[in-house]
Amino acid sequence: MRTELLNSVVRLTPDEAGQLRCPRCVGPLRYAGPIREGALDGSTLHCGHCRGEWAVEAGVPWLLDEESIGCFEGLIRHVYDWIAPVHDLGVRCCR
């Protein structure tokens, strides 16, 4: 499911990735990984300040600091992940 969603998203270019900032310390992020069709393909964004690492999957950076998610937010995230496929289909069908 996640891979299907990622394939339908516009992927980040190396120039765009250079404008991103670390969600923990707001330091600049550097991409180290393969480029496919002019966009980031996978691997990791690295923060030079706090040494944080952020995954890049199919050209999409995942800039969520899992450690900062509280108990309630974690619960709501699981609920949303469970209903999102049905909700998204309903939105697409009713346009």
In this predicted model, what pLDDT tens digit does every residue of 1-24 receive, in sequence order?
Answer: 455 555 556 788 888 888 999 999
> Domain coordinates of the chain in residue numbers?
1-64, 66-95
Residue bearing tokens 């937010």: 73
Give the phi and the psi of residue 52 in degrees, each rounded to 5: -70, 150
* pTM across the whole model: 0.62
Q: Is residue 44 within 8 Å of 56, Cβ to Cβ?
A: yes
- In this predicted structure, what is the pLDDT of residue 65? 79
Tens digits of per-residue pLDDT, 44-95? Answer: 999 989 999 999 887 888 888 777 777 888 788 888 888 877 776 666 666 5
pLDDT attached to residue 91 = 64
